[in-house]
Amino acid sequence: MGDRDADPPGDAPSTSDGDAATGILRAFVEAIPTPTLVCDPETLTIRAANPPAVDLLGHDRGTLTLMGLSDVGETDTTVAGEPVNDVAAAAADSPASGGPDSPVERFEWDVRLGDPGLRVDAALHAATIAGDEWLVVGLSDATDRVAAETQRDAERRLVDAVAAAVPLALFRCTEEGTLARWNDRLATDSGYGPESLSGRALTSLFDEGTRGAVSDALARVYREGEVVSSEARLLTRSGERVPYRLSVGPVTDGDRVVGAVGVGEDLTEASLREERLAVLTRVLRHNFRNDLNVVTGFTGRAIEAIDDPDLAAELERVVDTAERLLRLGETSRKVERLLSRRPSPRPVALAPAVDAALESLDSAVRGRAAVDVDIPEGLAVSAVAFLPEAITELVDNAIRHNDTDDPRVRISAAELPSESWVSLVVADDGPGIPPAERAVLTGEETPLEHASGLGLWYVNWIVTAGGGSLDIAESKAGGSRIELSLRAAEEPLPEDAELFDLDAFDGDT
């Protein structure tokens, strides 16, 4: 390596050679479009800097060419903790081939601390320029990249912390449907370790009988971008089949689905609990119904056998109470059925639904009152298939609790001005609904009043399951006026549409 401070041979002054060398270095770095410095490999003094380097470092060219390389930053060590001068010296000692195969020393360097800071990626290599050896330092601004990586790391730590705390299995699948990430709960549920889960198809975790359902759910997520839920049997590593509920949703990049995320839940305990509750409920309901039938039967015989009007009246109250409890048991059965089926809304033609409701009304009750119906033909709503039962419940209550000589009930419907809602009203001329029973809809009832409003609760659940609402007011005749606000069906019903089938829900007793 030549001595840059020695006088050049011949008669030319040394300053001319120095100016020529400086000019060559400047021409060299200015031909490079990215921030670049050229340093003396022995002293690490900066001898040339191009405009992008000036802009990046915030020093003018004259100032930079008076500084050593390590003086450029507020710290003289790399992000990894090595002295910048040691890394630069190692690069300067490498052979200066100047070609693409020249050894390159790379490091990250916090040139400016604080906010805003400046972190650079530095690439150092020896190069021969105009016959002399130099240390070329390429720089690039890494501040935004580092900030983004820091943000991603923080988000990843947050996600990992949430995934560890959630008592459910969490996972992410690639575009091909293979597992890319998961939490410990999925590993525990399945019995597989990380080496077995990585890259494994999600569907392979389930048994042959339910694997197709998982595959179909995953296909819908990728094809339609929807969140899909399904139930399947997880096949553990030990061969155990575990009832499992999956909810899977899309990961998108613009309009394209590039993966899926999901939640899995072991349903073993829930299934056992539901099974035991179902058995308990059936046994209690059976015994409840049978014993009350015995009460009403023997009480009826007692009424026929006695001549005391006062005692007969008291026994009649026993029969009425027993029959009311029987109806309560039947309503509780309907509530249980509704909650277990979790029905989805569908188009329902309102006039046929009201006709079906009146047909299912007890004939003895139906014969006690005049029922007027005013339902426009062609009016359709979005509701669950249990809507006729809700109407039956309202009409039955309106008649049973009406103590007038000639009870009247009016059922009417109209499309509201918004055209998105339909109003269905059941009004009567009876005593109205007691405040205690209305309170079940506002959460103000006491425990002793729960049972009396169960029918209204059942009606309200049916209506809200279809996205509607229920309102109670006083009718013009002084009785009760119950209005069901139902969503209008979005599409017209085909003529051969199966509007509802109450018989399909009568198998559960």
Please write down the long-range contacts of 155-158, taking CB distance under 8 Å and 24 or more positions apart. none
48 and 123, same domain (yes or no): yes
392 and 437, same domain (yes or no): yes
Question: Which residues form the domain of 286?
Answer: 271-342
Instruction: Choose one of 342, 366, 391: the last residue of a domain.
Output: 342
Strands (E), 225-379: 228-235, 241-253, 256-266, 346-349, 370-374
Beta bridge partners of 124: 105, 137
Tell me the two tokens of residue 178. 């293979």
173 and 56, same domain (yes or no): no
pLDDT at 339: 62
Locate tokens 């339909």: which residue? 422
Total residue length of the chain: 509
Residues 112, 21 contacting (CB under 8 angstroms): no
pLDDT at 378: 86
Instruction: Choose one of 141, 156, 174: the last residue of a domain.
Output: 141
Q: Report if residue 146 sits inside a domain.
A: no
Classify burial at 131, counting beta carbons within 10 Å of its beta carbon; exposed 0-12, middle 13-18, buried 19 or more: exposed
Q: Report if residue 147 sits inside a domain.
A: no
Q: Report if residue 149 sits inside a domain.
A: no
User: pLDDT (tens digit, 0 to 9) for every residue of the chain, 509 residues total?
Assistant: 434 443 434 343 444 555 677 788 889 989 999 999 999 999 999 999 999 999 999 999 999 988 999 999 889 999 999 999 999 999 988 775 455 556 899 999 999 988 888 999 999 999 988 888 999 999 999 999 988 888 888 888 887 787 777 789 999 999 999 999 999 999 999 999 989 999 999 999 999 999 999 999 999 999 999 999 999 999 999 999 999 999 999 999 988 999 999 999 988 876 666 666 666 666 666 666 777 788 888 888 888 888 888 888 888 888 877 777 777 777 666 666 666 666 788 889 999 999 999 998 888 888 889 999 999 988 999 998 889 989 988 998 899 888 888 899 999 999 888 778 999 999 998 887 776 666 655 555 443 343 446 778 888 888 988 889 998 888 888 888 999 999 998 766 655 444 445 444 444 33
Question: The domain spanning residue 226 has which CATH number?
Answer: 3.30.450.20
204 and 337, same domain (yes or no): no
pLDDT at 189: 92
- The count of domains in the chain is 4
